[in-house]
Structure 1
Amino acid sequence: MMYSSKMKKITKLVLILILLSNLTYSQELSGIIKYNGSLNKTYIDSILKTIYNNKNIPHTHKEFAKNEYGSAVDVDYYLHFKNNQSYFYYNDALELETGHNPTSSLIGKMPFYRNIKANNIIEINQYVGTINRKPLQWKITNKTKKIGKYVCNQALATETLFSRQGHYYTEKVEAWFTTEIPVSIGPKLYTGLPGLVLKVKTDKFTMMATEINLNPKKEISITVPNLDKIITQEQANKKWEELAEASKQRR
């Protein structure tokens, strides 16, 4: 038991040293990463079971939910990075063709900007404003696995979210990152680890890197948001509460 605990501490120390040593090297790296986003089947089954077991929900609404989740399709996201900056965004081309898709609604459509040196994670949210998101507190484990040709390490965290019903809840997050691509970035706010995040799994969805294009010849564009009107996570939460309350009053 003592040996296992000591090995965990050594592993974490090594990863921290890798992160620090990679900060300089990462300045030379650039790339475009494509992620596939999909809803977890266990989540869909759980949601539909809850809906169908609720006697207060009309049958027509139950059928609508069944068709809605049954028609959910995978979506694509892109992550651009260079010069210690990154920009993550949703590719809405498929949605323009197929219409509303619950997958993108649940995973999210808002872009994220990150400046590694400034250690910030900025969500550009069209409803409440430009948010300086709080970083997740990761716990790096000893588990490893290969994703494609890259050896990845597992990291776990708990994310606090705000529901459309007006209350807070938490979700477990599992991320797999590789130190073979030494940039402390990933999709959405799933960043801050000693390497590129290739896979994220939450209770609701999974995001997996499907294309990795490092140091491409084409110019990489990074959209830098206006940081003059940035709001804190607490201010954003307050606005979400106000929107939820206003929605209740309109019913």
Structure 2
Amino acid sequence: MMKILLFSVFLMLTISYGYSQSFIGTATYQSKTSIQGDFGPPDMPEARKQEIMERMKKAMEKTYELTFDRSTSIYVEEEKLEAPSINQSGGGRRFGMFSATGGTYYKDIQEQTYTNEVETFGKKFLIKDSLRQLNWELTSETKKIGNYTCYKAIAVKVIDTATMDNLRNMLRPPRRDDADKEEGQKQKDSVNGNSLLARIEAPKEQTITAWFTPDIPVGQGPGSYWGLPGLILEVNDGRTAILCSKIVLNPDEEIEIVQPKRGKEVSQAEYNQILAEKMKEMSERFRNNGRRSGGPGGRP
């Protein structure tokens, strides 16, 4: 009963505020992603593991700006200097090859669509698709974030594991002929013993915890999050935490929210397929290079 009452109050506030005046603002978010589990081969020194993990952790600390009004928003990552390669020989670059950079995420919550402009593998893509609706469960639990009173909401999100499945396949030892079976089994045991595949085993679903404020009655939030009766100031999916650090409402300077238009237009499913094919192609390239050089998976 409390949840229904809260939702009704928030909904009335949102409607009355929305029709009373024009509304626009910006919110700055800090994003941090945790790295869980063991890392690196069994014979890697612990100090080296910690060094790599710290660099990866730092690389995954990002700053974003959300510009929003009552129906649309645009979420842009703040540009920063590229971090040094983890492996000076060039191996560390592999972590960045699968990432999408320079992303601009546009949401239209009235039409329930999004446009995501990304650059991946040196090519620009314009992903256009429908927004995913989360079945938010509102609670009466509150806390302060800055000067704003926020309410807690929880949702369970089903995860698309196709991309992670392709990455796991890349890390499996290649098939070998009879002469190499023994060495191949050693490598397989090394991978399994290091729990590498287990570490990247994607969960089937995630529990999303969000904190929103009805003091800013717009259904917007960072990234793909939306649909609550107030701006989302904090969200956590168990691995990545996003926290709002600054809000500016109705600034003096004019702000325009423009839908991105650059890149090859694809749906999310089409983009996922392109990504999977590129990952498979790069996997084959790595293995072929290894065979020629006598490296892992190759012959001396």
Residues 240 and 13 of structure 1: is their aligned pair in 2 closer, same or farther, counting only changes over 3 Å?
Answer: farther
Query: Is the Cα contact below 8 Å between 2:156 and 2:207 reproduced in 1?
Result: yes
Query: Is the Cα contact below 8 Å between 1:166 and 1:241 reproduced in 2?
Result: yes
Larger Rg: 2
What are the equivalent positions in structure 2 for 1:20-169 lying under 5 Å apart? 20-25=15-20, 28-39=22-33, 43-44=34-35, 46-47=36-37, 49=38, 51=39, 55=42, 59=44, 65-71=49-55, 72-73=57-58, 74-82=61-69, 84-93=71-80, 95-96=81-82, 98-99=83-84, 110-127=103-120, 129-137=126-134, 138-159=136-157, 160-162=159-161, 163-166=163-166, 169=203
Could you tell me how far apart the structure 1 residues matched to 2:16 and 2:99 are?
A: 36
Q: Which moves more between the two structures, 221-230 or 142-151?
A: 221-230
Could you tell me how far apart the structure 1 residues matched to 2:10 and 2:262 are?
A: 31
Could you tell me how far apart the structure 2 residues matched to 1:208 and 1:245 are?
A: 35
TM-score (ref. length: structure 2): 0.65
Query: Is the Cα contact below 8 Å between 1:37 and 1:107 reproduced in 2?
Result: no
Q: Which amino acid aligns with 2:77?
A: Y
Residues 249 and 18 of structure 1: is their aligned pair in 2 closer, same or farther, counting only changes over 3 Å?
Answer: farther
Could you tell me how far apart the structure 2 residues matched to 1:22 and 1:229 are?
A: 38
Could you tell me how far apart the structure 1 residues matched to 2:249 and 2:47 are?
A: 45
Could you tell me how far apart the structure 1 residues matched to 2:237 and 2:54 are?
A: 20
Equivalent residues, number: 232
Q: Which amino acid aligns with 1:126?
A: E
Q: Which amino acid aligns with 1:119?
A: Q
Identity %: 24
Q: Which amino acid aligns with 1:12?
A: F
Q: Which residue of 2 aligns with 1:243?
A: 278
Task: Kindly state the Cα deviation for residue 177 of structure 1 after the two structures are TM-superposed.
Answer: 0.7
Could you tell me how far apart the structure 1 residues matched to 2:127 and 2:233 are?
A: 26
**Post-superposition CA distance 1:35-90 (Å, at most 9, x none):** 12223xxx33x23x3x26x64xx517x76552132133343211112463211111
Task: Kindly state the Cα deviation for residue 122 of structure 1 after the two structures are TM-superposed.
Answer: 2.4
Match of 2:6 among 8, 11, 17: 11
Kindly indicate which of the two structures has a greater share of residues assigned to strand. 1
Could you tell me how far apart the structure 2 residues matched to 1:139 and 1:211 are?
A: 26
Could you tell me how far apart the structure 2 residues matched to 1:108 and 1:22 are?
A: 36
Structure 2: gaps of 5 or more residues: 87-94, 168-201, 287-300
For the residue of structure 2 that corresponds to 1:126, the secondary structure is: strand
Residues 147 and 230 of structure 1: is their aligned pair in 2 closer, same or farther, counting only changes over 3 Å?
Answer: same
Could you tell me how far apart the structure 1 residues matched to 2:256 and 2:279 are?
A: 35
For the residue of structure 2 that corresponds to 1:152, the secondary structure is: strand
**Alpha carbon RMSD of aligned pairs, Å?**
3.3
Residues 33 and 67 of structure 1: is their aligned pair in 2 closer, same or farther, counting only changes over 3 Å?
Answer: same
Task: Kindly state the Cα deviation for residue 31 of structure 1 after the two structures are TM-superposed.
Answer: 1.3
